[in-house]
Each structure stands twice: as C-alpha cells, then as structure tokens.
A and B are shown apart, each in its own frame.
Chain A
Amino acid sequence: MGSLKIENVKKAFGPVEVLKGIDLQVTDGEFVVFVGPSGCGKSTLLRVIAGLEDSTSGRVLIDGADVSVTPPAKRGIAMVFQTYALYPHLTVKNNMALGLKQAGTPAAEIERRIKVASVMLSLEPYLERRPAELSGGQRQRVAIGRAVVREPKLFLFDEPLSNLDAALRVNTRLEIAQLHRRLKATMIYVTHDQVEAMTLADKIVVLNAGRIEQIGSPMELYNSPANEFVAGFIGSPKMNFIDGARLGETAKTIGVRPEHLSVDTKSGAWKGTVVHAEHLGADTNLYLDCEKAGLITVRIFGVYNAEPGSTLYATPDAAKTYRFGGDGKVLK
C-alpha cells in the first residue's frame, strides 16, 4: 500500500521546461530522497506527485492507479512543507484535525489519531496552542503531525528541516527516521542537504536541470557514481576533478575523493604545497596546490599538522579513482 510510479513526466511553465521526462518507480515502504541543486525541479516534481501542479505530459500512478484527475485530497498523500504552512487561526489540535474533518472521519477516530500522533511527536502539552505560540521546531513537528494523522499511503516532505537550526535539524531528522521505521509508510523527501539524503534514504534520486542523473542507494551513489555530476554532488568535501591530459591519462577527467588521498612528507604521486589547512577535530582538510594535479582537497582522519607553504606529496588510492569520458560518464 503506497507504491508510486512516474512515467515520462514533463512539466513546462510556458516556454521553460522544468521537468524533462522523469521516470521513477518507488516501492511500498521505501524512503526515497530527491536531491539536486537549487532550481533543478525537485519541488515541482513533488507538487506534480501531490497533484498541486498538473504535468504537461506523462503519468503518475499511486498504487497502480493513474491519479491525473484525482484532486490532492483524494490521492492518499500528505505533505510537509518547508515553511510549515500551519493554519494560523487554528489550534495545534485543529490543525491536525482539519483534513480528517474534511474527509468525514468520525470524531472519535480523529481524537484517537491525534492522541497517537501527539504522543509520538511529543506535542501533547501544545495541543491547545496556536502556531504563533510555538517555536520553529515545535511548528515543524505539528506539520509532521498533521501529515501523520492522515495515515497516508505516501508522505511527501519538501525540505522540512531547512528552516531549523543545526541541533534541531539533527533531532528532527532522527524523528523522521523513527517515524518511517514505525509507520513503514512510503516517504518521498526533498532536500539539498547531503547528510539528510545519505542518512535517511533507502534510495536517492539525483536530479539535475529537470533530469534524473542517477538513482541508487546512498552507498551505490557514493561508490559507483554514474557520471561526473553525481560524483561531484555526493560526498563532502567534493570530489577532486583533475584534467586527464595533465596526468597523461586517456580519460578526459580523473576524479578522486578527498578521503581517498593519502599524504606523505617524503614521497608520493603528486608533489604540492599546502595552501590552507582546516582543522575540524575529527578530520583535517588540506588544500594542496600540486604541480601535476592543480588545487586539490585532501581529507585526513584525525589531527594532522601541516603548515601552509610546506611541501607534501599526495597519493590517490588507485582502486578508488574514477575516470570520466568527454560526455561526463564514468569509463569502465
């Protein structure tokens, strides 16, 4: 209960094509995360799934049924918005109840579901308050609660955490992960935060300029990116891309992640000068200006003392080096 299939969905706003043919299959109970740079069409795709926006062409199927003409309220979905979008004139309780009342759910059942959801999200003390009297994190929990009580087949989250501060973001992220485990519902989650994507997803969909670049589990994307875009997008700090010609390679571009480079003061593949060092405690990020490879980032686990201006040799892990062709695709 809660599978989703998207077939060749296109969306244009006037002459501007925002979605250029999206195909996607989500199975029941999966947690799918859409990531991609700003403006790539993540929210638009989510709104098409929700029925808030009509697609220009293509089909959306929920549980095998074409929902093109089904209004949002009847699609069995619930959505959590970036801006919370709570009804300002209603109490927390009524915010959660409104959708159910509209659907004609019996009052006792509404009570029961609100009880369950408010215990789950620790919202009990706030049930009689209005959104204006809540903190940002509490508001977002109410927004999640409003989605939970609908018991939807499909949860849609559009960057639900981006208005929260760092600590609260981690907490709420955990709550969402627990929620998914407990409800076993299908969830689609939009974010441009890598950590959220990697930690929450069963499956990540990387979007770029209205197209899907790659679909896969977090580790698949990390270990075997299909192309330069995905390789650069997943992983932090970003993968180093080095012009193949400079290294005397046949591939157009060579990619190596900062964590797959080792450094040595005496010898190594690429000789370079330390430009800057970032000490994060658990890791150290070194920026090296190499004669052969240009400016690269190296990530070293633990503390590493390197003075700017000193000379270091960096060596890539050959097994974890990626080779990209002229079209950006990975060469096998």
Chain B
Amino acid sequence: MSLATRSLPRTIGAHAILLTYTAIALFPVILVIMNSFKSRAGIFGAPLTPPTPKTFDLIGYTTVFGQGDFIHYFQDSLVVTVASLFFVLLFGAMAGFALSEYRFRGNTMMGLYLALGIMIPIRLGTVAILQLMVASGLVNTLTALILVYTAQGLPLAIFILSEFMKQVSDDLKNAGRIDGLSEYTIFFRLVLPLVRPSMATVAVFTMIPIWNDLWFPLILAPSEETKTVTLGAQLFLGQFVTNWNAILAALSLAILPVLILYVIFSRQLIRGITSGAVK
C-alpha cells in the first residue's frame, strides 16, 4: 500500500481484528500443545498456565510412543491423505480441463452434476457406501477410505479448477496443438503448471477434512491394521478413565504432518504463476 492510501486508524483497526481472530483461532491449538507437556495434575490443576518445571511431564508422549502402534496409525493417516489428495487433484484437474476446454453435448449438465456434490454431504450416503464396501470386500482396507475421500474431495476440486483452467490462454494451448503436442502433454506440461497455485489451494482445502475425519475410519476401517491417528487417539478415551496426557500428546503430534503438508503447498501458493507466457 502506498503512503497515500494508508490511514493509521484503519491500519490499527485491521490489525486489531486480525490479531483477535488469530488469537481465537490459535487458542485451542496452543492449549492442547501446552497441556500435552504437563502431568495429569498439572492439566487439571491449572489448565491455562504453560508447563512449569513442577508440572512438566512427558508422560503423554511416552504413553503414545509406548503404545507402539501409533507410528503405524500415523502411517495409515498419511497414506490415506496423500493418496486421496493425489487422486482428487489428478482427476479434479482432468475433469476441470475437459469441462473448460472441450465443447461436447451435455457439458453444462455434466458440470452441474459434478458440482452437486458440493451441496450434498457425502455422509448422507454412509449406509449405502458401507453396503458397497462390504459387497466389494473393501471393509477394513485403506483403499475404502481413499475411494471415499477422493469422491468427497472431487466436486469442489472440479468446480474450482475448471474455473481456473478457463483462464489459461487458448492461444497457448493452440500453439501446443500446432507444434504437435498431444492433449495429455498440453494438459500436463502447459496447463497444469499455470494453474499450480489453484491446485495448491484445492490441496489445502481437501487435505484438512480428510486428515481430521473420524467418521469414515470408524465405520469403514476400524481394524487395528487400518486405524488412522484420529481413530487411534480414541483408544485413550476410556469409558471410565480417560488418559488425557496421551490424548493431548497424540493430538499435538497429529498437527505436525498437516502443518508440513500445508507449508509445502503454501509455498506453491505464494510462488505464483510463471508469468511472461502471454501478453
């Protein structure tokens, strides 16, 4: 912003609002992380204070890692998230390209049909999905989760990506055609790099609900082999006694991978498109 368009009260106002929002958004996260380093007495005695030498305790983490399988749960979560993300981005981009680039009968109807999924939550179909998975023998496999999450993420991905693909210069694609590039090469080499920032946006939007989901792992893949982190953390949520240290430690750890993925994608977001191709 230039000096001429800046005004002090407005700047202060904007920052105040943003800082308040940041505090509200971060408060629960910080609370979880803080308390995950405290002893049980510390957690209940003074939940809002940071760990002191007296209350500091790594018992939560040792429990989680002592549980052995937790590494495995992490692996499952990561496999499911990354695989679903990959398919959502791949198929979403391909469908978006087809919808924006090719004129075919039913193009608009197809676009609307695919966008319908944005409005209808996939959980409404849980019973049918479960039946389907039982029938195809996919219950208690990660494949089941990947399939469901891919379906869940696609509508929004297609909707956003087809809008961005429309903005990619026709001349560029046509230049590729004249140079003899196949439609696949045009898609992967010319169009995808130009919509990379929007792909990153879609990736972030898609990734977080998948990582955090408890519903489908609980219904479709609750076996020890296929437990995800969110489901695994339930282990410590006993009927009579809840191991808060372990739960908080598990949740704190669960933040890490999403954070890393987010940092990777947001770098893409910031880097922006490779300009200079047109105009």
Which residues of B from 189 to 241 have beta carbons under 8 Å from A?
A: 189-190, 193-194
Q: B172 and A87: CB pair below 8 A?
A: yes
Q: A85 and B174: CB pair below 8 A?
A: yes
Query: What separation, in Å, do the CA atoms of A132 and B190 have in the docked complex?
Result: 15
Using a CB–CB cutoff of 8 Å, the interface residues on chain A facing chain B are 47, 50, 52, 71-74, 77-79, 81-89, 98-99, 102-103, 130-134, 136, 139, 146, 163
Q: A88 and B274: CB pair below 8 A?
A: yes
Instruction: For B277, give its contact among A74, A79, A103, A131 (CB under 8 Å).
Output: A131
Stretch at the interface among B132-140, B175-183, B258-266: B175-183
B20 at the interface (CB under 8 A from A): no
Query: What separation, in Å, do the CA atoms of A81 and B277 have in the docked complex?
Result: 12
Q: A87 and B178: CB pair below 8 A?
A: no
Q: B274 and A99: CB pair below 8 A?
A: no
Instruction: For A87, give its contact among B177, B275, B277, B279 (CB under 8 Å).
Output: B277
Closest Cβ of chain A: how far from B26's Cβ, in Å? Answer: 38
Q: Which 10 A-B pairs have the closest CB atoms?
A: A132-B276, A73-B180, A99-B179, A88-B277, A102-B180, A85-B171, A81-B171, A83-B278, A85-B175, A88-B274
Query: What separation, in Å, do the CA atoms of A52 and B178 have in the docked complex?
Result: 8
B49 at the interface (CB under 8 A from A): no
Instruction: For A99, give its contact among B180, B193, B278, B279 (CB under 8 Å).
Output: B180
Q: Can you report 7 A-B residue pairs in the complex whose CB atoms are below 8 A from each other?
A: A72-B174, A78-B178, A85-B174, A87-B172, A98-B181, A132-B276, A136-B279
Q: Hey, which chain A residues are within 8 Å of B175, CB to CB? A: 79, 81, 85-87, 146
Interface size on B, residues (CB 8 A): 21
Using a CB–CB cutoff of 8 Å, the interface residues on chain B facing chain A are 169, 171-172, 174-181, 189-190, 193-194, 274-279
Q: Hey, which chain B residues are within 8 Å of A50, CB to CB? A: 174, 178
Q: A163 and B178: CB pair below 8 A?
A: no
Besides A85-B171, A87-B190, A89-B189, 19 other A-B contacts (C-beta < 8 A): A47-B174, A50-B174, A72-B174, A72-B180, A79-B178, A83-B171, A83-B279, A84-B277, A84-B278, A85-B175, A85-B277, A86-B277, A86-B278, A88-B275, A88-B276, A89-B274, A136-B279, A139-B276, A146-B175
Q: Hey, which chain A residues are within 8 Å of B279, CB to CB? A: 83-84, 136, 163
Report the nearest A residue to B274, measured CB to CB: A88
Report the nearest A residue to B182, measured CB to CB: A102
Q: A83-B169, A88-B194, A89-B189 are in contact. Are A72 and B178 (CB under 8 A)?
A: yes
Instruction: For B171, give its contact among A71, A74, A82, A134 (CB under 8 Å).
Output: A82
Closest Cβ of chain B: how far from A121's Cβ, in Å? Answer: 17
Closest Cβ of chain A: how far from B186's Cβ, in Å? Answer: 10
Closest Cβ of chain A: how far from B229's Cβ, in Å? Answer: 37
Q: Hey, which chain B residues are within 8 Å of A86, CB to CB? A: 175, 276-278
Query: What separation, in Å, do the CA atoms of A189 and B275 have in the docked complex?
Result: 27
Q: Hey, which chain B residues are within 8 Å of A132, CB to CB? A: 274-277
Q: A88 and B193: CB pair below 8 A?
A: yes
Q: A83-B279, A85-B171 are in contact. Are A72 and B177 (CB under 8 A)?
A: yes
Q: Hey, which chain A residues are within 8 Å of B190, CB to CB? A: 87
Q: Hey, which chain B residues are within 8 Å of A98, CB to CB? A: 179, 181
Q: Hey, which chain B residues are within 8 Å of A83, CB to CB? A: 169, 171-172, 278-279
